Amino acid sequence: CVDYVLDLQKEPLPFPDKSVEYVHSSHFLEHLDYPVKVFQEISRVCIENAQLEFWTPYTWSNSAFIYGHKQFFNEDHYLHMCVWNSSFWEPALKARWLLKEINYIIDSDVLIELHKNKIPLDFALKYYKGIVREFGVFIEVHHNYTGEELQPIKTFAVERSAKRYPVKIPSDANVNSSDLNNAFKWFSSWEVGQQLFPLPPTPPEELPSELQPNQAEVEGLQSQLQYTQAQLQQAQAVIAAMQKTKFWKLREAWLKFKKVIGKS
């Protein structure tokens, strides 16, 4: 049963100020030209400590780019508004939004493949495309917040209603200066070395057995090469013989005559 049919990009939410305690949005925000207007309306109607639950396709999924989508959301959108630049966004949103949780929905077959290949989930989320199908954020609205900055927890599940598990973040996530220097040295020396001193090709006898050329295949290719070279030599001999004939000389003279006529 539908209570209201609205164009939320032009019309206000049909609720009094500070009267709503929970807002749920599912695959709606990505269709808006300018979601901030809707965010401002949500702030207006929400009571203190109201809960927001927003679901959208994840930026790095193919379905995020289907027809009709105008926004491509990932966690950075909400981190900008709620954590990194909250002092800027608080007056823009007309409330303080606290990002409590980011929940990634990942298909079970993707999780199994990552596990089989021993790829940590936090690494896959950071660097790989096609891992997350959709994601949800859970936000708390405050009108007079004076507390500290909060970092959201990150969780994953196979479905929205399924059990959520924490995304394990390495304890040494901070940049280590020694590791960074080693990375600089390795990348720079490898690139310069490859440019100045390219590695020589590996002799066939030193290749792994599965990469070594098959003797029968090599002999077959050599036979094909010899046959092709013989055909080329025959063709060259035929052309040389034709160029010595009277017909060829008459042809050359006729072509020169045509050029002279054309120039005159």
What is the predicted pLDDT for the residue at 264? 46
Q: Are residues 140 and 85 in the same domain?
A: yes
Q: Are residues 154 and 236 in the same domain?
A: no
> In degrees rounded to 5, what are phi and psi of residue 196?
-85, -35
Nearest in space to 42 (alpha carbons), one of 33, 52, 30, 28? 52
Q: Are residues 227 and 133 in the same domain?
A: no
> What digits encode the pLDDT tens for the residues 9-38?
899 999 999 999 999 999 999 999 999 999
Give 175 or 81, the one with higher predicted confidence: 81
DSSP letters for 186-211: HHHHHHHHHHHSPPPPPPGGGS-GGG
Number of domains in the chain: 2
Q: Are residues 147 and 247 in the same domain?
A: no
> What digits encode the pLDDT tens for the residues 1-15?
678 898 988 999 999
Q: Are residues 140 and 236 in the same domain?
A: no
Query: Where a domain ends, among 166, 197, 227?
Result: 166
User: pTM surpassing 0.75?
Assistant: no
> What digits encode the pLDDT tens for the residues 166-194?
999 876 667 778 888 888 877 776 555 55
* Owning domain of residue 229: 213-264
Percent helix, strand, coil in the chain, to 5, is 45, 15, 35
The tokens for 2 are 């539908």
Q: Are residues 161 and 31 in the same domain?
A: yes
The residue type found at 64 is A
35-45 and 86-93 helices, crossing angle to 10° = 70
Q: Answer whether residue 79 shows pLDDT above 60.
A: yes
Residue 45 belongs to some domain of the structure? yes
Residue 173 belongs to some domain of the structure? no
Residue 90's alpha-carbon distances to 39, 94, 152, in angstroms, are: 11, 6, 17
Give 207 or 55, the one with higher predicted confidence: 55
How confident is residue 253, by pLDDT bands cut at 50, 70 and 90? Answer: confident
What is the predicted pLDDT for the residue at 193? 56
Residue 11 belongs to some domain of the structure? no
Of 101-115, 162-176, 198-212, the one with minimum mean pLDDT is: 198-212
